[in-house]
Amino acid sequence: MQNHFQMEYSIAVSCRTHNLQKVRKFVENILNSLLISPMDSNLVLVAIDELCANLMLHSHYQTPSDLIEVKIREEEDGMFIFEVHDTAVEGFDPSIYEPSSIQDIIKNKSAGGMGLMLVKKIMDSIHFERKGQKNICRVCKTIKKPDIELS
């Protein structure tokens, strides 16, 4: 029998920002089914949403025929691995991006950089690789599950 540690969940959506809600619902349902608390789950939703929104807007310019794929799997030590795949010719590596301070972002009247700041603060690690025609952004987070008493 396959246990959920071997399971990988995935969704593919076209690069339109109205699909962000679909991605969030997908991630939320998976995390709920794995007993992650709504607070932890919401932060992960924000991080994945920010990565997808960046790609949709800045790498794919909301081209409906372009797809991004989000994959989720849980390792046995409570680490969750989330991957965002896309095929933009020039991939964007968020791991090397250094966001400005929040004060500078406010002063410049821009939300630019705030999203990646959230991703970096929420997730434990960010890794980017180009594999063939594909860009893969992998973000990881160890999430503690609530203790469940077995009767």
Partner 1 sequence: MKVNCTNEGKFHIIAIEGDLDASSSILLDTVLEEAIEQQKHYILIDCLGLNYISSPGIGVLTSRLDDCEKNNTTIVLFSVSEKVFNVFNILGLDQLLPIKKNKEDAKSFSDGI
Which x/- pattern over 43-72 shows residues binding partner 1 (rule: CB under 8 A)? x-xx--xx--x--xx---------------
* Distance set, CA 129 to CA 92, 96, 118, 151 (Å): 9, 12, 21, 45
Rg (CA), the chain: 16
What does the alpha-carbon distance between residue 40 and residue 37 come to, in Å, rounded to a whole number? 5
By CB under 8 A, is residue 32 in contact with partner 1?
A: no
Q: From the CB of 114, what's the least distance to partner 1, in Å?
A: 4
Q: Which of 11, 114, 136, 140 binds partner 1 (CB under 8 A)?
A: 114
Instruction: Select 24 or 85, whichever has its Cβ closest to partner 1.
Output: 24
- Please state whether 16 falls in left (phi above 0), alpha (psi between -120 and 50) or beta: beta
Enumerate residues 6+ apart whose C-beta is below 8 A from 61. Answer: 15
CB 108 within 8 A of CB 91: no
By CB under 8 A, is residue 134 in contact with partner 1?
A: no
By CB under 8 A, is residue 133 in contact with partner 1?
A: no
Instruction: Select 121 or 130, whichever has its Cβ closest to partner 1.
Output: 121
Contacts with partner 1 by CB under 8 A lie at 16-18, 20-21, 24, 38-39, 42-43, 45-46, 49-50, 53, 56-57, 102, 105-107, 109-112, 114-115, 117-118, 121-122
